[in-house]
Structure 1
Amino acid sequence: MKKLLPFGIIIGLMLTPLLTNAHVKWFTEVEPQKESIEQILSPLFMSLALTAAVVLGVLTLLIPKTTNWKQIQNWDVRLSSLRKYSRIILKYGTAIALIIQVVNGTLFAPELPITNTLTTVLAWISIALLLVPHPISTKLGAALLLGLFVYVTMNFGIFHMLDYGFYVAIIGVLLVGRTRYENVGFPFLYLGTGLSLCWVAVEKWVYPTMSLDIVVNHQVPTFGFDPGIFIVMAAYIEFVVGYLLVVGILNRVLGLIVTVIFVMTTMLFGMKEVIGHFMVHIVLIIFIIEGVSFYNPPIKMHKTKVDQFIFVFLNFLFVLSTFVLIYYRFA
């Protein structure tokens, strides 16, 4: 029973709403207060970094063995048969997500209000173009959406909009459809979504007071942990999810788990959660359908299991350090 306790804690953390409530700023009015770098790089933080790196390295040795399980193979066949619908789901899902946002007076995220009529008109034109079942119309709609994203970025700043970098990846997929670059679309979507998750996870370490406010006001269960410790752990789980998407491990499983968690957070945070995360739901559905069939993940550069373990271990620590330092310096 004791052996199952750590596993239960991990599952509990993964199922808590705070974990995938990636955009903390949506649900708190607390003024952001940057934590000192000494407090961020605490013994707990460093211990969890090494633990996560080891666990990720071990996953590279265990996951390939599951591909021989009959049930996994059956699921793979069934999901693979749906791949022909992936781009259709992305196209119309994007249009629906934009409709929800514009109707509620925002664009791309709940804290990004539409401030003028021209933006509203251009957003509706983009939606209309995406709804037309023609590749040229899709590309025009995506190009217009890219222009709107650039405009919003100019107003709110590039480091703020990195939270929503997956929209750039989505636009990229729509633009390269039915071209000779079509095959790079979905890998770019994996990369953009994974990096966005990593980026917003760092927010919980650099600005912990906002997350603490959410834990208190929304009565988020901490499973017996001190709220400060719980936030550090939850942010690690979120960062690991993003990293796994980038390196190409557990993409279908992650897509399913995170989709379930987002449904749970909707029950806790309401309509704002729907507005903000509907587009992410669409992306995760595509991950569930696609797996990594089209994606040559970075881990495949290394042939032996030992090399793959070392690569994931060291690369995770490097990526983690880079994100923390960049976020702390510029965000």
Structure 2
Amino acid sequence: MKKYMPLFILIVVGMISAPILADAHVKWFANVAPQKVKLEDILSPFFMTISLLIAILLAILSQVMGKLMDIPLAKKFDLRLDSFRKYSRYILKYGTAVSFIFQVSYGTMFAPEFAIRHTWQTIVMWLIIIFLVIPHHISTKIAALLMLGLFISVWGHAGWFHMLDYGFYIAIIGVLLVGKTRFETIGFPFLYLGTGLSLCWVAVEKWVYPMMTIDIIHHHNVPTFGFPPDIFIVLSAFIEFVVGYLLVVGILNRVLAVVVTILFILTTTIFGYTEVVGHAMIHIVLIIFIIEGISFYNPPIKMHQSKLDQMIFVSLNFIFVLSTFLIIYYRFA
């Protein structure tokens, strides 16, 4: 186990000290219009090299983390977190209410870019909060249906492509709806999938519209840790994409949730209360991931029994997912 520790420490420290811009939503803070770059400019030799290196690293990581959890202290910590699992649905329910209070007090819905423009929207927001606070599963389902209706309303105004950035809200609504039903067990796996895919989708934005991110770097004095801005953007987007991918395939979920939570907290020092409002809901989801781990989730990597098969699956699937997201985003951006 000792021989794996330096690698694990390097990964964790690297992620914690990585560009904190990776978790900032560029649409909220950029002052320039989106300007799409050419696809060949995105697929630079540097981009391709980093993609291959990450694919190899993820293959190794899929095996290292299993050995890490064999450490007695890690097992004890894991069991301690498992004891809080009974509170997960309450955390999601009341945490969503708190997040919506932040949003409505800021005059927005779901994200800082969607301003409340009509009285009925304010009323619906407060109804969602009230029904979430009522401790009954029927009330929770009513709140979820109201959330779905409001989300569809915003979707119709902003466009389906834009709202894919916030696809995790559909997952949250799904979890709230299936509570106390025979479909309850699929709720949290759906939340993992929705959150992971949303992070991957948002990450691609930084590659396709790099000038928006450069504008944020200049206007908010974001530290680039010695990297040129163009390299910094590529790396920060890869960090966000990898985090989303790992949540989906079921690797490092508790550690990832802790690391990403730290990154989100760091971004508030630069972007202030807007960042708090925009990412409060994500914080709630990450708290659930810290508590739940993958105890309820049969991650895709478990479909393969041998270590070699798992390593091949993780690495090749990463390249496939990366390519698919980039092509789809670029086609419809």
TM-score (normalizing by structure 2): 0.95
Contact 1:169–1:192 (8 Å) recurs in 2: yes
The residue type equivalent to 1:139 in the other structure is: K
Contact 1:252–1:287 (8 Å) recurs in 2: yes
What is the distance in 1 between the residues matched to 2:41 and 2:107?
38
For the residue of structure 1 that corresponds to 2:113, the secondary structure is strand
Contact 2:97–2:129 (8 Å) recurs in 1: yes
For the residue of structure 2 that corresponds to 1:322, the secondary structure is helix
For the residue of structure 2 that corresponds to 1:296, the secondary structure is coil
Aligned to 2:185: 183
Q: Does 1:252 align with 2:269?
A: no
Aligned to 2:202: 200
Aligned to 1:271: 273
Aligned to 1:216: 218
Displacement after TM superposition at 1:16 (Å): 2.9
Aligned to 2:122: 120
Label 1:29 to 1:141 Cα distance change in 2 as closer, same or farther (>3 A). Answer: same
What's the C-alpha RMSD, in Å, of the aligned pairs? 1.6
Contact 2:222–2:270 (8 Å) recurs in 1: no
What is the distance in 1 between the residues matched to 2:257 and 2:227?
27
Aligned to 1:29: 31
Displacement after TM superposition at 1:7 (Å): 4.0
Label 1:242 to 1:9 Cα distance change in 2 as closer, same or farther (>3 A). Answer: closer
What is the distance in 2 between the residues matched to 1:171 and 1:159?
19
Q: Residue 64 of structure 2 is aligned with which of 62, 65, 89?
A: 62
What is the distance in 1 between the residues matched to 2:246 and 2:11?
20
Contact 1:14–1:237 (8 Å) recurs in 2: no
Q: Residue 134 of structure 2 is aligned with which of 121, 126, 132?
A: 132
Q: Does 1:230 align with 2:223?
A: no
Displacement after TM superposition at 1:318 (Å): 0.5
Label 1:9 to 1:144 Cα distance change in 2 as closer, same or farther (>3 A). Answer: closer
Displacement after TM superposition at 1:139 (Å): 0.4
Contact 2:19–2:225 (8 Å) recurs in 1: no
Aligned to 1:85: 87
* 1:141-178 deviation per Cα after TM superposition (whole angstroms, max 9, x unaligned): 10110111011000001111111111110110000001
For the residue of structure 2 that corresponds to 1:133, the secondary structure is coil
Displacement after TM superposition at 1:9 (Å): 11
What is the distance in 1 between the residues matched to 2:140 and 2:183?
15
Q: Residue 169 of structure 1 is aligned with which of 160, 168, 171?
A: 171
What is the distance in 1 between the residues matched to 2:173 and 2:36?
32
What is the distance in 1 between the residues matched to 2:291 and 2:12?
29
Q: Residue 283 of structure 1 is aligned with which of 282, 285, 298?
A: 285
Label 1:179 to 1:12 Cα distance change in 2 as closer, same or farther (>3 A). Answer: closer
For the residue of structure 1 that corresponds to 2:121, the secondary structure is helix
Contact 2:128–2:143 (8 Å) recurs in 1: yes
What is the distance in 1 between the residues matched to 2:252 and 2:129?
33
What is the distance in 2 between the residues matched to 1:15 and 1:178?
40
What is the distance in 2 between the residues matched to 1:78 and 1:154?
44
Identity over the aligned pairs, expressed in percent? 61
* 1:184-219 deviation per Cα after TM superposition (whole angstroms, max 9, x unaligned): 000000000000000000000000001111111222
* 1:215-264 deviation per Cα after TM superposition (whole angstroms, max 9, x unaligned): 11222221221110111011101100000000000000000011111111
Q: Residue 16 of structure 1 is aligned with which of 15, 19, 25?
A: 19
* 1:283-308 deviation per Cα after TM superposition (whole angstroms, max 9, x unaligned): 00000000000000000000000100
* Structure 2: gaps of 5 or more residues: 1-5
Aligned to 2:3: none
Contact 2:20–2:236 (8 Å) recurs in 1: no
Contact 2:206–2:213 (8 Å) recurs in 1: yes
Q: Spell out the pairing of 1:89-104 with structure 2 (5 A cutoff).
A: 89-104=91-106
Aligned to 2:317: 315
Contact 1:83–1:289 (8 Å) recurs in 2: yes
Matched pairs, number: 327
